[in-house]
Amino acid sequence: MAIKAKTKSAWFCQSCGVESAKWVGKCPSCGEWNSFVEEVVVKSKSTQIVGSNGQNKKNKPLKISEISSSEEARFDTKDNELNRVLGGGLVQGSLILIGGEPGIGKSTLALQIALHLKSYTTLYVSGEESAQQIKLRGNRINSDNENCLIVSETSMENIFSHVKNTNPDIIVIDSIQTLATETIEASPGSVSQIRECTAQLLRFAKESATPVLLIGHITKDGNLAGPKILEHMVDTVLQFEGDQNHMYRILRSTKNRFGSTSEMGIYEMQHNGLREVSNPSELLLSHEDESLSGVTISASIEGMRPFLIEIQALVSSAAYGTPQRSSTGFDLRRLNMLLAVLEKRAGFKLSAKDVFLNIAGGIKVNDPAIDLAVILAILSSSTDISIPKEVCFAGEIGLSGEIRPVSRIDQRIREAEKLGFKQIFIPKHNSKGLDISKFDIKIHLVSKVGQVFQTLFR
């Protein structure tokens, strides 16, 4: 009489991936309601992962004095923006996760990387598109690489078989939610499948020193789909964002074990792929000859890169009694705080008016140094008095109405001077250690919001 194999099932939270022996209504980890689903878990003997040379690598414990302290070897991606965000290039053995909205350009960016690395063998694994579809995108990018191998596959066992046969230097997976392994009896995209497939790819990357790029889906809330442990397992998490109605795309790093998380890369989406934007200031600024009310320029910094952005504000009387507050590219809560400071500390009554704020170019900026430019754009629109186009601003606004110092003020001044601005308003406390004489631009040192108003609107 044949004995039936015993199966094991468990309940997993679809939001954070926590495991439970039984169904629970509210997740004890993330607090989500009705997020647990049952999945059959039958693990066979662990799949043996081999290195790119076909041999098994075994690690042994080492003393800390025996470990080499040299910098990690990196691959040059031939993309200056991506190299900047990664911290210098692809680190050998790293696992990189790229997330973003559908149609934002994740697959285009990954394919451009694979096609531009002509001196390395790249294996591009697609679980969403056929090889013919990828070929059409490659023709649109107008780039060819004989060392770029394309395969449409979703089975982890078959993928590792292709890896053993082709011996690639870099692997691209599009996307991690489409992969499945035979060791887990669950559908692709489930918590257990994503976790197990990522674990196998991580083990392969570390043992073979092969960088692996994963493309991940995001949820309607903008978070990466799958368990939260997915972000903990990978070395780098890149967020590809931007408004599909605008041409610019922003690449940010939310986690990076080999570099800074404050860097930002800017791309321009064109018909033939993504183009690097080396000087974002000239593209983010409008070139109107006539000065308009409600428009100001701020010197901002993302990571180590200074650039100028245009801030547009519109203030009008509330038509329906309840004033509206709306912002695009700027934190709405901070906008409400700045409006409260204007009313309490500077005496401008804006509580009965609609206020709309927009960062030109469709980008999102979190630098507090643009506060001064934001309130001046609002006042310029409210009074219908334009601010001269050759004036630039940099300063953080405190709750008492003071203008607080900002970081890297010399880089901000130099960027404004390079683009032809004649005047810049900066916090007075930033003057310590700053040699004003070495700049040709006129520098106004201000400590209170009222000082700026008296200078510009007198």
Annotated binding site: 100-107
Segment holding 19, helix H or strand E: strand 19-20
- The CA distances from residue 69 to 65, 73, 122, 176, in Å, are 9, 12, 28, 32
Give the CA count within 13 Å in the CB-facing half-sphere of 381: 22
- Quote the longest CA-to-CA distance of the chain: 98
Residue 58, burial from CB neighbour count under 10 angstroms (0-12, 13-18, 19+):
exposed
Angle value at C-alpha 179, between 120 and 42, nearest 5 degrees: 130
Dist CA 11 CA 24 (whole Å):
9
Residue showing tokens 């662990």: 46
Residue 142, burial from CB neighbour count under 10 angstroms (0-12, 13-18, 19+):
exposed
Q: What would you report as the CA-atom Rg of the chain, rounded to the nearest whole angstrom?
A: 26
Residue showing tokens 């041409």: 247
Q: Rounded to an integer, what is the distance from CA 23 to the centroid of its chain?
A: 35
Query: Is omega for the bond preceding 298 within 30 degrees of 0, making it cis?
Result: no
**Binding-site entries for ATP:** 100-107
434: tokens are: 């700053």
Beta bridge partners of residue 302, listed in sequence order: 305
Count other C-beta atoms under 10 Å from residue 231's C-beta.
16
Quick one: which of 241, 262, 248, 243 has its CA closest to 328? 243
Note whether 258 and 71 are within 8 A (CB).
no
Note whether 175 and 98 are within 8 A (CB).
no
Note whether 54 and 196 are within 8 A (CB).
no
What's the first-to-final CA gap in the chain, in angstroms? 98
422: tokens are: 């004649």
Indicate the length of the chain as a whole number: 458
